[in-house]
Structure 1
Amino acid sequence: MTFEVMTGHRGICLDSTIERCAASCQSLVPVAESSMGEVVNTETDLGSHTGLLTPNERHFRRNNFPYPESWPGLLVEPGSRLSLSDLKRFETRELVVTLECAGNGRAFLDPPVPGEQWGLGAVSTARWGGAPLVRLLPDLPDWAVEIGFEGADGFVRSLPIEMARHPDVLLATTMNGEPLPREHGGPVRLLVPGWYGMASVKWLTAIRALREPFQGHFQVERYVIDDRPVREMQVRAVITQAGPGQARGYAWSGQGAVSAVEVSDDGGVTWFPAELKESAPPYGWTRWEAGWKPGGSGATQLLARAHDSAGNRQPLEQVWNTLGYCNNAVRPYAIS
């Protein structure tokens, strides 16, 4: 299939001139009104999830635009165009990484906010493999302040230089030991461990050094809270299965290792520790289990909250914001 050159709001927007970028982003088509094909967004069924890795076909999917029809190769400015075979010649590594959409939990905000109304299933974990991005950036010019990334769907983001140089940022070409599926950004996507999923640009077609901070739509108008950029995943525990006497789930954080999970059966008045089971540090989630004794009869609500090694504790109350990002507030799990 030949690659169709996109124009308008889906054209290349990695220009360091703010005015040009702003002009091209003004015509972004809202997801619900896209006329270029179906925009696919799906959650992972955490209630039936077992083990650490999410099968590729069950991994959540988040898209702002329809899937691109093909991939033209990867342009690494000032002039190198790499094929998939070229990328595979670089030394590769594998990392188990939990990816979470920044809007995960948006459906629970009160008052409601616009955007994809995610429950808690916009999160999954996979084993990603590929070449470290830094291998493609050996001689960055002194004037570079950020690295910009564009996907074949027209989604454009940037990373600070120091993050782009991190050895664990990958150009992922495999997922759970298989070639990276088209549905998850194949044949190559950026993978930024610890950050929310919007940073991991899919169907990567261009990498450019930027002279000034990128001012594109998905950089400064979306994925921000009060003009502060959304970056690291917030600490969170979720209950995925529970019944009389037993509860289990997952916990993760982009700011440090999960250090503890606590469970409450009295609305948060008292808490007791859960047992941390298998984990996939430093970037994968932790599976946990907890025993508890039902008291009396009737319905019970369980709560779970996580702590991480950076000293963060999952909040009981929502942190409301107009775009509905980073809502990691504890959610009750009802048991009849």
Structure 2
Amino acid sequence: MSTRTTHRSRLAGLITASVVAGAALSACGTEDTAADPEDGASSSAPTSPATSAAPSGTATSDPSPSESGGTADTVAVPAYFVGDTPLGQRLFREFRDVPAGSPVNEALALITSGDALDPDYTTLLPTGTLSAAAQSTTIDVALPDASWAQAPAGTSTEQATLAVQQVVHTVQGALQQQLPVTFTLDGAPSPVLGLTAPDGGFTPGEFTDVLALVNVTDPAEGATVNGSFTASGVASSFEGTVPWELRDASGTAVVDGSAQADGWLDALYPWEATVDLTGVAPGTYTFVALTDDPSGGEGGGPTEDTRTVTVQ
């Protein structure tokens, strides 16, 4: 992931820095920031849900699988993976078409295996088969074996916490249930990755500590586009401005612009942009969405998310 610097006033940089400094990792907190909604129909490959106007920092959820496209035998579910940002590792989301029989367990299989379409994404979860079911007051996730009660060697508490957040966001989004998440082993409550659930269960952490500050929903990784395409996603970016670029193989921007998100600071808000491909030669390009960087790079640079597209 590359870095682009946008020079703004020193004052704006201090404002942004103070906002970021106020966030401390609370991935097992009580903020209802699960399942930030995302938007837009893609140019190709897996089908993503319709646009939602609600920000991710509110008590909203991903569109239900039945509303998210797919085919007669598949549904689209949100799967949360881990990627690098200037603020450290954060969660990025992909919508994926999975068999309709048990969407939440299919989504869990994706994140435990690290089977992301975007090569920039990975997982902090061990390998193994998780299963989830919504109860009256919790979502219970069954662990595959006792090894999951402890963190793998070399895993920090921060990484274990973010791994648990992968599960929390994924199951809440797939089940459309904003219920606390508990982990069980052989039917009994269990620690997970060395962490003991707080009273009531694990809940989504503060969005600034857990989610990447910009995320692309469309185009999907590997999409084929021509003429123009609609790019969309969610972001919390300075003054709601979301710069974007279409870069060639050398990293040069052949088309650029900016989108205006519906808000910033308190949540991730939807953004959308039309990318005009007039004059762009056929080939493979990288679409990049970024947070605006009024600090001039002093905070490590903007967060960005990328998608590889083929222009016909």
Shorter-chain TM band: 0.3 to 0.5
Which protein, 1 or 2, shows the higher relative CO under an 8 Å CA cutoff with sep ≥ 6?
A: 2
